[in-house]
Amino acid sequence: MKPWLSIVAAGVILFGCASAPTTPDWVSGKSAKYPDNQYLVGRGQADTMDDARNRARADLAKILEVAVSAKSSDVTAYSSGPAGGTESQVSRSITTRTDQIVRGIQIPEVWQDPKTKSYSALAVLPRNQAAMGLRADIDRLDAATRGYVAQARSAPDLLAQVAAASRALDSQRERDGVQRTLQVIDVTGQGVAPEFNSGQLAADLGTLLKRVHMRPQAPSSQELERMLSAALSAAGFVPEAGEDAPYVLFGSLQMDDLGLINGWYWMRGTLEVQLAEKASGKVRGNKRWEIKTSSPQQATARRRTMDEADATLKRELRPTILGFATGS
């Protein structure tokens, strides 16, 4: 072959090699530039660049959400007793923090396939960056739990002790949720070892609650008095029928018949509770709830008002009494 032909042939080969598209490693596999031990990654593909970016963000957010849910799956969902409602609060807290973490997602790489013209995008979340905020949250919650535990042990008033113990448990449960998220972010899966145990704090709170004896009183309604007693039991307190209980929980339910409106009977109820110390007569607090119900039958509307009052007491009585204890 003549020398000039060799040069041309070599040039064609080099040109062909230079123009051949190279698919980034992250499109179908792991990224060397963004390794798993330093980043959480997500991928997205679409006909437009913006859609590919959005899908990559959504993919990474979903990966994080699923991982945290899996980490939380072995945690007992408490629905009654001293921990009533706390687990749902923790779930909301986890969701809020996950949303905050997702805001830190970056899109450092976008690639367009020269044949299909579709776009691929890579979303990354630096583990250290996300973990830093979670560790700060844990430090704050540890300090809060520590303070509430100290209050529960030192407060001279039994109700104040119960309120502090309840807040300690709430803080620790929230901390447990942050820990589960951190264990997903932290490549070691360890997070930060807890100083307190939620199970033990719940047991301590249960013990304190059983020391609080209350006499439910509803002079105008035996049914409402039974509701108060049941709600106290559900909240972990001890309802007592005798005169020796140190606290008296008064209850009243005023029902107003609003009449027939467009074929429906409407009832408006005003439910009120008041907590007082038996010895001194000091009122620790009172709370009122407005209830409105309706039915095509007048008797059913009245029954629904009673049922709604019962549900309200079982749902709200414990945080209400703890609020009385702290003056909130």
- Is 206 a residue whose pLDDT tops 80? yes
pLDDT number for residue 10: 47
Confidence of residue 18 (pLDDT cuts 50, 70, 90): very low
216, β-bridge pairs = 249
Its sign, for the CA torsion 184, 189, 192, 194, is positive
* % of the chain beyond a pLDDT of 90: 70
Q: Which long-range contacts (CB under 8 A, 24 or more apart) does 307-310 make?
A: 308/269, 309/224, 309/227, 309/253, 309/269, 309/271, 310/227, 310/230, 310/231
Spans of all domains in the chain = 23-209, 213-326
Question: 69-88: per-residue pLDDT in tens?
Answer: 877 764 544 333 454 455 56
Angstrom distances, CA of residue 78 to CA of 82, 88, 152, 232, 314: 9, 8, 22, 18, 15
Summarised one tens digit per residue, pLDDT across range 108-127 is 999 999 999 999 999 999 99
**Taking Cα atoms as reference points, which of 9, 6, 110, 1 lies closest to residue 51?**
110
Return the bridge partners of 255, or none: 269
Q: Where are the alpha helices (DSSP H) in the chain?
A: 3-19, 49-72, 86-102, 127-154, 158-185, 198-209, 222-235, 298-326
CATH class of the domain at 213-326: alpha beta
Classify 190 as helix, strand or coil: coil
Q: Is 238 helix (H, G, I), strand (E, B) or coil?
A: strand
Q: Higher model confidence: residue 4 or residue 318?
A: 318
Closest CA to 240 of 252, 224, 228: 228
pLDDT digits (tens, 9 = 90+) for 133-191: 899 999 999 999 999 999 999 998 899 999 999 999 999 999 998 998 899 898 888 89
